[in-house]
A and B are shown apart, each in its own frame.
Chain A
Amino acid sequence: MVMEKEKKTINRLKTMHPLRAKVNETYLRSVEAIQAGKPAVWGMLNFYYGDPILKAMDIEVVYPENYGAIAAAMGVAQQYLERADAEGFPTHLCGYSLTTLGYASRMMKELNGEIPPEAPLGGMPKPLFLMSSAAICDARYKWFQSLGRYMNVPVWPLEAPIPGIKEFFIEGYYENMVKLGVKHLRDFVAFVEKMVGRKMDWDKLDKTTDLMIEVNRVWHEVNELRKARPCPMHSRDFWSAMPAALFLAGDLEDSLKLYQDMYDEVKERVDNHVGAIDDEKYRMVFAELPPWHSLGFFNKLADRGWNFVIESFGYHPPIPMDLSNVSDPLERITRFSLQFLVGYYEDARKQNVTGGTSAYPYLKYAKEWRCDGALLHPLITCRSASTHLPYVADMLMERLKVPSLSIEGDIVDLRLFNPEEALDRAEPFEESMEHYRKIRKQEGFDW
């Protein structure tokens, strides 16, 4: 792939760099762990259900979906996609999943379990087990089930309830979700104990859980600071910094310190009116997954004064909640995980956005972060991150008079994203944003 030389139009945060380095660190640690005879696991992004448990048991976890993005960005995904195609997997499946399936096929059929030499960041070693997740999409558990074709490795499918907004308020509903989560995680702990031949250190899990919650609270506060005008932190810094909170990549105590450093840097920018770009003309919300292989695209939009001030609901930390009176760490984990979705439900119900499980957050973002426009990125091979986008566009216009620009692409297949064509649409969209800025003022909105 062609790697464009980045211009420095986005004023990147210094404190982002050590957080971004945690991803590379995670892959290297997993390979080292295997070499040292320690367990490594492949995990699916699980929105905090399973990660603290594995972390407390000193198990290294790598995330094939994250690795799919890395393989795409490093230009090696294509051979895995082609291999998955040859194995009989339909090409319209999730690009991350096809990358993993092609990778596993190469590793197990051609290399007898050895890491493919071309694999970036040291590659993903053969796992002890697979931790899949029902959160957000069907691919998250079906794809790991499909890996059984290449590896006789057990799979634990983590349950993850997705309640309706109206139904969530039925008496007893929330507690039934908590009950499911706690029982399910207790059984998961027993499964992990059997797999690694060690018992859980419950004190360590207690501490890990608290750290996870605190890391995400600070991370949430960092993002709250981005409501300032000009916005001090661009979405590119968000995406670079998020893995330590979302995947719990790296040491949590270290991550907490790094997010606190980031908070300080962003706060200093706010206090001194320093923006993430020099001339913030348009405040933008981005949905959902970015084109990882073409992030330089955002620099060109920054040249035009587009500052991406908020983004990717699915990657944001849960709205903070007080769990200090919950003594069982598994219950704290469950309530924290559920909060990722249901933290928005009360407001969504009040505003009668019943269809808004993952759409309502964008209304909140556009309103509270004072956005002029939304850049929507529907993905050919990721339906879950795309399905709600037309509805998001409708709601943003209907409720807030905020226009949307939809640009199709893909998370892995870079041929499906055309940055030049997308940039051609920027100028007419700016006219639309200017127009709706006037409309909002006429209708009494305050931005």
Chain B
Amino acid sequence: MTDRSTGLARVGEIYSNRSQRARELKAQGKKIIGYPCVYVPLEMLTALGLVPYQTCGDMKEPVTEADRALPGSFCPVMRSCLDCALKNKNNFLDGMVTIHSCDPQEKTCRVWESYTNYPYFHFIDMPISVRPEALEYFRNQLGDLKKTLEAFTGKKLSVDALEAAIKSHNRQRTLVKELYELTKPSPPRISGTEMVQVLKALVSLPVEEGNDLLTECISEVKNRTAGPQKKAARLLIWSSTLDDTDVVQVLEDKANVVMNESCGGIRAYRAAVKFTSDPLKSLADYYLNEITCARTFRQATLGETKKDYARDLQSRFGYLKGVVKQWNINGAILLLVRYCDPFAFEMPSLRDYFESLGVPSTYIEYNYTVGALAPLRTRVEAFLETIG
């Protein structure tokens, strides 16, 4: 990274060499903590002066090392993440915080901890429901994370520091949403491919640096004259992970991807942490309740003794209704990473929901490799023809 570049140019540099800034910070004496999933409460790391760094997969890198630790019929994203770790691509990390956000995360974290030797490693258990006792349990899990982080850093995690970190991360959430406002016009002011680059840059930087970068990007995008071209369709992509530009470029070849509903998109930024007298409870509430991943069991009424399918769909997917309207979506692609069970179970029901909104949708599966791009292109083109 050079001092000369700013905004989207800098984003492009970071996207091409994600770990460079983390390595620089490491050389300056900072401790870098990896995390594989957006459910890890980054605020707690930031508040202790640690630098969070998302350990992503790399679909261009053939999985070889992870083959000895995970079976082939397993989440290819987690296989790829672990493969990168076993190939020492994350050798600058001082530790990892992992979480039971889904079964592959939980299973991979066990193996990850066994086959690597970071000075610090913590696993957070996470309940599946949003019931009050589940929330309390999750809050206590964060309390346990606090204990091990304090022991690792030799520092106390003060309420003031945590609240300041929450403010910084909330600011980032606000800025990402502001950037997403710029995909509302037709044509959008920023492409889906650029958005993926921006969001991947954010998970490679300390939060304040990310906020500065976002501010630059927003200003640049608002003021530039050359943006994406208007295309035939305005697509919403719903996926577990969509964090690679090669995939988005296939999707955007003949359409505008204006909303990326995945962990490489808006999912971790839609809501904000609410301040209460107990910041850990605030964080637990945000991460358990507000992130709309399929892994969380939601229902129309907690403990309901009657069930209504339409209300059930609304409780699980209702957040998409406003998106469809505000972003003027006219097609939805449900992009399933193979072997992702929480998302795979949602496919028929989510298609029912999109149908109820009058939005045509399709379900496409891929295996997080470059070899999957050609068939993906064929499937996308076929779908675009049907919604013509």
Chain A positions near chain B (C-beta within 8 angstroms)? 87-90, 92-94, 97, 129, 132, 134, 137-139, 141-143, 145-146, 148-149, 152-157, 159, 161-164, 166-167, 170, 172-173, 176-177, 179-180, 183-184, 187, 190-191, 194-195, 353-357, 359, 378, 380-381, 383-384, 386-391, 394
Question: Nearest Cβ in chain B — how far from A169, in angstroms?
Answer: 10
Bound complex: CA of A138 vs CA of B294, how far in Å?
10
- Complex interface: chain B residues within 8 A of A357 (CB): 110
The secondary-structure label for the interface of chain A is loop
Q: What residue in chain A is nearest B312 (Cβ atoms)?
A: A148
In contact, B123 and A164 (Cβ under 8 angstroms): yes
B19 in the interface, Cβ–Cβ < 8 Å? no
**Separation of A221 and B104 alpha carbons in the complex (Å):** 34
B345 A142 Cβ-Cβ under 8 A: yes
Q: In the complex, what's the smallest C-beta–C-beta distance from A289 to chain B, in angstroms?
A: 14
Q: Which of B100-122 contact A (CB under 8 A)?
A: 100, 102-104, 106-115, 121-122
Decide yes or no: A156 and B303 within 8 Å by CB, A89-B348, A180-B137 being known contacts: yes
Q: Which B residues between 39 and 76 are near A, CB-CB below 8 angstroms?
A: 68-71, 73-75
Name A88's contact: one of B107, B114, B122, B351 (CB within 8 Å). Answer: B351
**Among B112, B339, B341: residue with most chain A CB under 10 A:** B341
Complex: chain B residue closest to A132, CB-CB: B297
Knowing A88-B351, A355-B113, say if A187 contacts B107 (CB, 8 Å): no
| In the complex, per-residue mask of B358-383: 1 if CB is within 8 Å of any chain A CB, else 0 | 00000101000000000000000000
A187 and B129 CA atoms in complex are apart in Å by 13
Known contacts A154-B307, A163-B125; A383/B347 CB under 8 A:
no
B residues 330-365 in Cβ contact with A at 8 Å: 336, 338-339, 341-342, 344-349, 351-352, 363, 365
Q: Would A154 and B73 count as touching, CB distance under 8 A?
A: no
Take A92-B344, A157-B128, A179-B137 as given contacts and tell me if A170 and B148 are in contact as well, using a CB distance cutoff of 8 Å: yes
Instruction: Enumerate chain A residues within 8 angstroms of B73, measured Cβ to Cβ.
Output: 92, 378, 380-381, 383, 386
Looking at the complex, which one of B112, B136, B307 makes contact with A180 (CB distance below 8 Å)?
B136
- Best-buried of B297, B308, B345 by chain A (most CB within 10 Å): B345
Chain A neighbourhood of B304, CB < 8 A: 154
Q: Are A157 and B348 in contact, CB atoms less than 8 angstroms apart?
A: no
* B36: interface (CB < 8 Å): no
Q: A159, B128: Cβ atoms under 8 Å?
A: yes
The answer to whether A184 touches B133 (Cβ under 8 A) is: yes
Interface residues of B, count at CB 8 A: 65
Q: Which 5 A-B pairs have the closest CB atoms?
A: A355-B114, A164-B123, A142-B345, A355-B110, A183-B133
Contact of A387 with B107 in the complex, beta carbons under 8 Å: yes
In the complex, the answer to whether A162 meets B345 with C-beta atoms within 8 Å is no
In the complex, which residues of chain A have a beta carbon less than 8 angstroms from the beta carbon of B346?
Answer: 142, 146
A157: chain B residues at CB < 8 Å are 128-129, 297
- Nearest Cβ in chain B — how far from A291, in angstroms? 16
A90: chain B residues at CB < 8 Å are 336, 338, 344, 347, 363, 365
The interface residues of chain A lying within 8 Å CB-to-CB of B75 are: 383
B139 to chain A, nearest CB (A): 9
Residues from chain A with Cβ under 8 Å of B100 in the complex: 162
Is there an interface contact between A191 and B107, defined as CB atoms closer than 8 Å? no
| In contact, B348 and A391 (Cβ under 8 angstroms) | no
State A145–B344 Cα separation when bound (angstroms): 12
The residue that A184 contacts in the complex, of B114, B134, B141, B305, with Cβ under 8 A, is B134
What CA separation (Å) do A146 and B342 show in the bound complex? 10
Q: How far is the CA of A425 from the CA of B184 in the complex (A)?
A: 60
Chain B residues 284 to 305 lying within 8 A of chain A, measured CB to CB, are 294-295, 297, 299, 303-305
Report if B144 contacts A (CB, 8 A): yes
Query: How far, in angstroms, from A159 to B100 measured CA to CA in the complex?
Result: 13
